[in-house]
Amino acid sequence: MASHSTTDTETATTDDDTSTTDTAVADTAAAGKPDADTTATGTTPTQPTATGTTATADASTTITPDSSGSFVTGALALVSAGLGVASLTGTSLGDMMRARQELLGQITAATGGQIDQIEALYGSPWSTVALVNGTFALLAVIVGAVLLATRGRRPDTSNLVKAVALGGTVLGVIGLLVAGGMYLDLFAAAPMLPTMPGLGG
Condensed to tens digits (0 to 9), the pLDDT of residues 145-200 reads: 999 999 888 888 889 989 999 999 999 999 999 999 999 988 877 777 676 665 44
pLDDT of residue 189: 77
pLDDT of 57? 42
SS3 at position 91: coil
pLDDT-based confidence at 22, cuts 50/70/90? low
pTM of the model: 0.61
pLDDT of residue 107: 87
Phi (first) and psi of residue 43, to 5 degrees: -95, -5
Rounded to an integer, the average pLDDT of 29-46 is 45
DSSP 189: P
Read off the pLDDT of residues 52-107 as tens digits, 9 standing for 90 and up.
444 444 444 444 555 666 788 899 999 999 999 999 999 999 999 999 998 988 88
Degrees to nearest 5, angle at CA 147 with 142 and 149 = 95
Contacts of 46 (CB under 8 A, 6+ apart): none
Return contacts of 35-44, CB within 8 angstroms, 24+ apart: none
For the chain, give the number of residues. Answer: 201
State how far Cα 122 lies from the chain centre. Answer: 47
Q: How far apart are CA 182 and CA 173, in angstroms?
A: 14
In angstroms, the CA 87 to CA 92 distance is 11
